Amino acid sequence: MRIVLLGAPGSGKGTQSQRLVERVGIPQISTGDLLREAVARGTELGRQAKEAMDAGRLVEDSLVLGMIRERLGEPDARKGFILDGFPRNLAQAHALDRLLETLKQPLDAVVQLEVDSRELVRRIAGRRSCVDCGRVFNLLTSPPTGAAALCPKSGAAHRLMQRPDDNEATVSERLRVYDEKTRPLIDFYRARGLLQAIDAEGDVDAVTARLAQVLHVPALRRPKRTAVRRAALKRARKPARKKAAPAKRVRAGAKRRPPRARRAKPARASAARGSRRRKSTRR
């Protein structure tokens, strides 16, 4: 499945992408994350991108396209991907079309996350992410509490940080850039018959359910067989006390089959004889 998530800063592209990753098992490719990584590592690309990012402008197309081309060429992207934050203008959308055409991997859907602009500003102000695992939280709407309180990487409480570009001045510029450069992509993808729009306000789980519905994927997370869960399952399966086995219920009219062990024995014995014979002839 190849998907683009389209939406203004703060519309929840990152949060919903992470939830889709858990459900569909395809990678999230976020140009914002890749660029922040490059800045943190101090690479040449990061150095060139930093100024535009700090000012809330778009990073040059040639840099972003090079990065995307490389990322889509990696093996895990062959089974599909969720593009988060890319494309962001018409030139990038056309370049993506051409790239996917050469890879023979056309897009399946583009989902637009609709959020009111006042709500966007409120969300961005409360947004924090974990330094260690990268998970995104919101102090107002989805704080790191309950089952989400511990970081899966460090095993301790999440170390939360605010993105440097989530300050008031940069946010208003990012929203302006979205309206001017990215919003036209809604018509671009609608004309191609790929666009699905969903209401991305309200409860995070409810938004995930709407997203799952338009993409025809399961709305619930696939259960993870963690060590704790495996131990709990084992305990649940183990009988507390040894009791006499209860009589099996047999459906009326069901044919009785001979017990498995008795049927299996002769076959296994002859197989063993056969292998012994083969060994002895080889010697």
Site residues (CB under 6 A) for ligand ADP? 9-10, 31-32, 35, 52-53, 56-59, 64, 85-86, 88, 92, 165, 174
Which of 21, 94, 85 minimizes the C-alpha distance to 59? 85
Q: 8's torsion region: left (phi>0), alpha (psi -120 to 50) or beta?
A: beta
Least distance to ligand ADP from the beta carbon of 217, Å? 22
Please tell me which residue in 2, 13, 36, 123 is annotated as part of the active site. 13
Q: At what angle do helices 31-41 and 44-55 cross, to 10 degrees?
A: 120
Least distance to ligand ADP from the beta carbon of 223, Å? 30
Please tell me which residue in 2, 71, 88, 128 is annotated as part of the active site. 88
Q: Specify the 3-state DSSP secondary structure of 207.
A: helix
Least distance to ligand ADP from the beta carbon of 121, Å? 12
Please tell me which residue in 23, 69, 159, 163 is annotated as part of the active site. 163
Nearer to ligand ADP, 92 or 112 (CB): 92
Least distance to ligand ADP from the beta carbon of 85, Å? 3
Peptide bond into 266 cis (omega under 30): no
Q: Compute the Cα dihedral for 274, 276, 280, 283 and give only its sign.
A: positive
CA dihedral defined by 133, 137, 143, 145, rounded to 10 degrees? -20
Q: Is there a catalytic annotation at residue 71?
A: no
Nearer to ligand ADP, 36 or 210 (CB): 36
Q: Is there a catalytic annotation at residue 235?
A: no
Nearer to ligand ADP, 35 or 215 (CB): 35
